[in-house]
């Protein structure tokens, strides 16, 4: 037996439908309004938060660069001092870099460390090598330390190898098999 809707049932269902639809519409408007307010608040806070994140990342990067530059410059100074170079002005600059680093002034620490490095590099160019440079093809498992040890009998001369190849080896701890690098000649000691 088929069940037919009476007019009263149809009216009742229509009224219920519109009541439910009205309630849903009110809920949607409230949700939409709350969402718009929340998005407005987030948009107002976002530039500040994003700027703080950018500043934090920049500070971390500066800290890392300063720390690395101070370490590399310290090694360069030790090496040049060992070979008899006068590195006193570079040592003063490096102390300034370390002091700035300790005070969390990473930007100035990086500047001082680079200046100290430039002073040491100037010593290298003034006391250039007598023997000619060699070309070496990097093999699997090679490091600048190993290459330096093989050619100079001292691994601590890795910085000289890296400095001579800074254009093709921008990151001193990443060399790749098949790269052709220059092995600078031996340096004369400065007997002052």
State the pLDDT confidence band at 44, using cuts at 50, 70 and 90. Answer: low
Give 121-127 contacts, CB < 8 A, sequence gap 24+: 121/76, 121/163, 123/80, 123/85, 123/86, 123/87, 123/90, 123/190, 124/80, 124/160, 124/163, 124/187, 127/85, 127/187, 127/188, 127/190
For residues 183 and 134, the answer to whether their CB atoms sit within 8 Å is yes
Q: Please give the pLDDT value at position 68.
A: 92
Q: Please give the pLDDT value at position 129.
A: 45
Residue 102 has pLDDT above 90, yes or no: yes
Q: Please give the pLDDT value at position 157.
A: 84
For residue 137, the cross-strand partners are 180
Residues present in the chain in total: 192
- Mean pLDDT value across residues 139-146: 89
For residues 138 and 181, the answer to whether their CB atoms sit within 8 Å is yes
Q: Please give the pLDDT value at position 122.
A: 82
CA–CA separation, 144 and 157 (whole Å): 9
CATH superfamily of 129-186: LysM domain (3.10.350.10)
Residue 45 has pLDDT above 60, yes or no: no
- Mean pLDDT value across residues 132-145: 86
Q: Please give the pLDDT value at position 36.
A: 82
Phi/psi at 137 (nearest 5 deg)?
-100, 125
pTM of the shown model? 0.47
Residue of 160, 73, 53, 62 whose CA lies nearest to 114: 73
Residue 169 has pLDDT above 80, yes or no: yes
- Mean pLDDT value across residues 61-86: 87
Highest mean pLDDT (candidates 18-32, 80-94, 149-163): 18-32
Q: How many CA atoms lie within 13 A of 82 on its CB side?
A: 10
Q: Locate all alpha helices (DSSP H) within the chain, ordered by sequence.
A: 7-82, 88-102, 106-126, 144-152, 158-164
């Amino acid at each position: 037996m088929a069940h037919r809707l009476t007019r009263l049932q149809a009216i009742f269902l229509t009224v219920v439908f519109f009541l439910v639809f009205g309630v849903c519409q009110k809920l949607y408007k409230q949700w939409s309004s709350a969402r718009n307010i929340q998005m407005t608040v987030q948009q107002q806070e976002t530039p500040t938060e994003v700027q703080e994140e950018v500043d934090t990342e920049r500070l971390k990067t500066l800290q890392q660069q300063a720390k690395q530059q101070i370490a590399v410059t310290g090694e360069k100074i030790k090496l040049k001092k060992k070979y008899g170079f006068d590195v006193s002005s570079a040592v003063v600059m490096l102390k300034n870099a370390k002091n700035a680093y300790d005070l969390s002034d990473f930007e100035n620490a990086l500047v001082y460390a680079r200046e100290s490095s430039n002073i040491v590099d100037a010593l290298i160019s003034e006391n250039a090598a007598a023997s000619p440079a060699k070309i070496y093809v990097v093999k699997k498992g090679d490091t600048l330390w190993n290459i330096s040890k093989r050619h100079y009998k001292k691994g601590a001369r890795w910085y000289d190898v890296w400095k001579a190849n800074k254009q093709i080896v921008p990151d001193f701890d990443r060399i790749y098999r098949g790269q052709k690098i220059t092995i600078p000649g031996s340096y004369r000691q400065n007997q002052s």
